[in-house]
Structure 1
Amino acid sequence: MSERTLETLGRRFGPFYRWLVTATAIIGTLSTILASTIVNVALPDIMGAFGIGQDHAQLLSTGFLAAVTGTMLLNAWFTESFGHRATYLGAVALFLSGSALCGFAPNEAVLILGRILQGASAGMMQPLGTQIIFQVFPPEKRGSAMGLAAVGIVLAPALGPTLGGVLVDHYGWRSVFVLSVPSALLGSGLAMVFMPDRAESGPRRRFDAPGFLLLILALLALFTGLSTGQREGWGSEPVVGALAAATLAILGFLLWELWTPVPLLNPRIFAHRGFAGAFAVAIVYGACIFGTTYLLPLFVQTVQGYTATRAGLVLMPAGLIMLVVFPVAGRLADRLPPWQPVAFGLLLFALSSWLLRGVHTDTPFWSMALMVLVGRVGLGFTMPSMNAGALRALPPRFLGQGAGGINFARQFGGALGTNLLAITLERHTELHAQALTPSQDGSGAGTLEFLRQAQALLRQDGVPETETLAGAYELLSRAVAAQASMLGFRDSFLWVALACLAAVLPALATRRKQTA
């Protein structure tokens, strides 16, 4: 048996050890998850550098999140087989390799591959904090510790666009991929000292390779179908085939996990009502935080003309308020039934998204920032109680599966939500453009006045008289496209609000106490 178990390290470093090992896990999580959203403000620059459209650019976000989802369930097997320290160091090595690929990528394919490696490392890293907290803290302190651990998971995506915007404007888009390297190296040094090795000395549990392959196939098929559906047509053979393959792979995965004695995710944990409800909430939670963090920088840059730095600053107040919210939310998680903070937080985020439904080209900076802040406060209240409530509902033998499962749900929701919101944005923008274009045929009073003023401006700029009418119609076309885009963003925020309201139902379903 290893001499670096949690018990021996606890005796060596004293009562403060629980905070040292938790802080080590948070630093690793912060480093890897920071990469999840930091690229969002760089998307316009990357699209220009490689000449790609939004349908390809979204793969930089959804590819990362899908990789996180795919490797999330590996954490339980890695920590049981090799220990927390080896899992941590392996995840950091994978993250640094992905960061190097992204920073020096000669084309979009290499860049997407680097993002997938970064996401795979984040998936292995995230459940570590939850597992450590439930092993080193007594039950009455776990909610407070969860509030602290949530800083790394939620604060990083919130602050990523701000830091990324400064880097993009001053050093170019490639610089965003080196921001997390110093903290990742720091975390590795701390892990060498404070993270425990494998506790058991017996044979390692067999790896569920068929289950993992079915899961990867399901994710690849699902996100391939979703990302190409708008471009190829939802009734096209490739898209229908991909979505059908995803459905079959998901069914195969569930049946296999029920049958195999060493499942990646044991479906029997869903028999515990509290965990099942928290799992459903976590999917919506991930969709909301990652989806809106994708939409907001894109909106203020493409519709309002913000720089990357200013786009990131819109999210800064919301990120900072989390430093205040999380400790409070953690204490509430220890004192209140989990469903109460969870439902309250979801309702706050629904309100924030409903307010964002009214944004337009002239919405002031601080109005945007305050609307975002309200939603992030809501998510801050939701997460500690969601995590603590999910694991409290499970017997000890399922804690490893539960920690991986609840993180899997959040990341799967993030990947799915980002993808669906990108589709919603593109689809609704097209629909609004189709509705607006016929009304701009030059016969309406408003259109005629616009054309007249546009021609006058073009004449002032020295455009020949014979070209002013064509130029005015070009400006009109751009104005219609901008209006359609703005309306598409509004519709997307409305769908986020409706999803949050729907998630209150599974949160309420966890009220009933359940036997072990």
Structure 2
Amino acid sequence: MDDLFERYGPSYRWLATGTCILGATTVVLAQTTVNVAFPDIMGAFSIGRDQAQWLSLGFFASMTAGMLLQAWLVAIFGERRTYAAALIAFTIGAAMSGLATNVEFLTVGRLIQGISAGIIQPLAMAVTFKVFPAERRGTAMGLFAMGIVFAPAMGPTLGGIAIEWFNWRYVFLLTVPSSLLAVLLGMVFLPSRRIPSRLPLFDLIGFMLMCAALFSLLLALSNGTRDGWDSDNILLLFGFGTVAAVSFILWELRTPNPLLNMHLFSYPQFSAAALIAFFTGGVFLTSTFLIPVFVQQVQSYTPLRAGLLLMPGGLSLLLLFPLAGRISDSVPAGFLLSFGLCSFGIGFILLSGVSVDTPFWTFVAFTLFVRTGLGFTSPVTNAVALKSLPFELVSQGSGTISFIRQLGAAFILNAVVAYLEYRVRFHGDALTATQTAASRTSQSFLDGVRRILSESGVPDSVQYSGALHYLGQIIQAQAQTFGFQDAFIILAALSLLSLIAVYVLVRTRS
């Protein structure tokens, strides 16, 4: 890296930071643009919400696995080659997803994108952290966060425009131009090193155990509602996943070349920051899935309108991220994190009251609380975690904190969507049970619908069945609304529970 500073002077840190931000923005864009496309993809391939979530869940899960590969790949090939190769693979995955003819091919493309994104994001964050002096690293993390926030700010809107003007396939192809540009810049401005004559050992056993644990537990969570939580295959998946997870932790503690350096968690501040990253990453990314699906399925928004709904909150992060990064150098981290988590909690409590009648700008105001929570937790968590480590562990710490954040996203998204499906079914059954012949309200509603159908010229023989069908649609819409409200309450509870980790962090600092 010193030779690049000699070649480009002090401006090199900005050239490297810009290159890293472009790559990180590209991979985050792939996470957020797809959220408004779920209803269209569900219709194109005739799949349900539980299967559609795997387009996000598979991305997050494979991204989690990719993050554990990052440190080993950088040790062999250096930042420059690893960054360029990961972006090329990411571009291939984007093309596969955009050209997919079935949901399986689409899922494979998303998995490739996820693995590549898992390598790129912590690598870019670590390089940005290293090129700034120690007293400006809080600001550096704010700048990095501000750069990548362009993606969640504009991603849903760009995805909506792509669907509105073309179709859902172009949502995946949006990132191809920026990926190729980032490859070119990375080959010039990122540090490089010679490939060692003796390759560092790779923890293959640990990697296999982690993948087995991750995908077994996620499959169990996603299929539990459909197959039954006490069914043999779900219990087997839970048991196998738990054994694999415990074996992974024990193996990583004993092996001389761990895939995940468990000794990082011997630094109390890092451990507390990792716990906060797990929950905040999970609740935020889950909300980016739930909100677009709710407004499209319950409020009948178009993909573009759903994207526009999320834009003001995303743009607010352009101010919040650098602000939080700058003041984190002088204001106690515990105060900023507590403020951010309370903002998360307030936002989700407000969202738990949304319905089909919630106005557009009221919804926008609620999402601003959620984005404020992200703005005051993400850069501060990164800065606290990396500042607590010796300089030689920064790269591993960067990869680990990103790994923990994506792990939270994968598990919390899966668990909350499974809970959502369960609650929608529960509320649907409860509402249906109240629609009896003795219910005056139900009979009055049916009579009113039949009267409208009669005035419209519908034959008498189908008026009653038509009225019942419409009543069923009303019940399903209300059940979905109640289910989403319950899901937002869970996110609020998880946000506020994270304050316990902030308390541990503050006590550790003192």
TM-score between the two structures when normalised by the length of structure 1: 0.96
Contact 1:33 1:152 in 2 (8 A): no
* SS at 1:264 equivalent: coil
Deviation at 1:445, TM superposition (A): 2.7
Distance 1:153 1:227, change over 3 A: farther
Match of 1:461 among 452, 456, 460: 456
CA shift, 1:133, in A, is 2.6
Aligned to 2:257: 262
1:317-356 matches, cutoff 5 A: 317-356=312-351
The one-letter amino acid of 1:74's match is L
Give 1:507's aligned amino acid: V
Quote how far apart the aligned CAs of 1:493 are. 0.4
**Does residue 157 in structure 1 map to residue 149 in structure 2?**
no
Offset, 1:53 = 1.3
Moved more, 398-407 or 148-157: 148-157
Equivalent residue number for residue 282 of structure 2: 287
- SS for the counterpart of 2:416 is helix
2:390 matches 1:400: no
What does residue 414 of structure 2 align with?
419
Note the alpha carbon deviations across 1:208-242, whole angstroms, 9 max, x for none. 11111111111111111112111111111111111
Q: Is the 8 A contact 1:264 1:401 kept in 2?
A: no
Query: Is 1:139 the equivalent of 2:131?
Result: no
Unaligned runs of 5+ in 2: none
2:505 — aligned with what? 510
Contact preservation (8 Å) 2:272, 2:504: yes
CA contact (8 A) 2:337 2:377 kept: yes
Task: Specify the code of the residue in structure 1 equivalent to 2:434.
Answer: S
What letter is aligned with 2:302?
T
Identity of aligned residues (%): 45
Q: Is the 1:99–1:177 Cα contact (8 Å) retained in structure 2? A: yes
Instruction: Give the structure 2 partner of residue 119 of structure 1.
Output: 114
Q: Do the aligned partners of 1:346 and 1:503 also contact (CA within 8 Å) in 2? A: yes
Q: Give secondary structure in 2 for the equivalent of 1:206.
A: coil
Q: Secondary structure at the match of 1:512?
A: helix
Matching residue within 182, 199, 212 for 2:177: 182
Matched residue type, 2:409: G
Superposed CA deviations along residues 40-81 of structure 1, whole A, max 9, x for unmatched, are 211111111111111211111100010101111111111121
Amino acid of the residue matched to residue 448 of structure 2? Q
Alignment of 1:164-243 (within 5 A): 164-198=159-193, 203-243=198-238
Q: What is the Cα deviation at residue 201 of structure 1?
A: 5.3
Tell me the distance in 2 between the aligned counterparts of 1:397 and 1:195: 18
Deviation of 1:204 (Å): 3.3
**Partner in structure 1 of residue 35 of structure 2:** 40
Secondary structure of the structure 2 residue equivalent to 1:497: helix
Q: Is the 8 A contact 2:74 2:82 kept in 1?
A: yes
Matched, 1:488 2:483: yes
Partner Cα separation in structure 2 for residue 434 and residue 391 of structure 1: 49
Matched, 1:271 2:272: no
Counterpart check, 1:56 vs 2:51: yes
Offset from partner CA, 1:444-481 (integer Å, 9 cap, x none): 23212211211121112221123212211111111111
RMSD: 1.4
* Whole-Å separation in 2 of the counterparts to 1:147 and 1:170: 35
1:103 aligns with 2:98: yes
Q: Deviations over 1:321-345 (max 9, x none)?
A: 1111111111111112222211111
Amino acid at match of 2:55: L
Residue of structure 2 equivalent to 1:378: 373
Confirm or deny that 1:73 pairs with 2:33: no
Question: CA–CA distance in 1 between the matches of 2:402 and 2:152?
Answer: 15
Question: What letter is aligned with 2:300?
Answer: G
Q: In the alignment, is the contact (CA less than 8 A) between 1:158 and 1:319 conserved in 2?
A: yes
Distance of 2:240 and 2:150 partners within structure 1: 36
Name the structure 2 match of 1:3.
none
| Native 8 Å contact 1:68 1:124 kept in 2 | yes
Q: CA deviation at 1:153?
A: 4.2
Instruction: Tell me whether 303-312 or 387-396 shows the greater mean CA deviation.
Output: 387-396
Q: Which amino acid is the alignment partner of residue 231 of structure 1?
A: R
Task: Give, in whole Å, the separation in 1 of the partners of 2:221 and 2:116.
Answer: 24
Among 3, 23, 38, which residue is 1:8 paired with?
A: 3
Measured in 2, the distance between the counterparts of 1:33 and 1:164 equals 13
Find out whether 1:30 has 2:25 as its counterpart: yes
- The letter of the residue matching 1:50 is F
| Contact persistence 2:20–2:128 (CA under 8 A) | no
Match for 1:309 among 284, 304, 309? 304
* Secondary structure, aligned partner of 1:432: helix
Q: Which residue of 1 aligns with 2:466?
A: 471
2:153–2:312 Cα contact (<8 Å) kept: no
Q: Is the contact made by 2:77 and 2:195 (CA closer than 8 Å) also made in structure 1?
A: no
SS at match of 2:135: helix
Give the stretch that moved more between structures: 137-146 or 196-205: 196-205
Matched, 1:129 2:124: yes
Q: Per the alignment, in what secondary structure is the counterpart of residue 15 of structure 1?
A: helix
- Equivalents in 1 of 2:150, 2:233: separation in Å? 38
Q: Deviations over 1:72-121 (max 9, x none)?
A: 11111111211100110111111011011111111000000000001111
Q: Cα distance, 1:200 vs. partner?
A: 8.0
Could you state the TM-score of these two structures normalised by the residue count of structure 2? 0.97
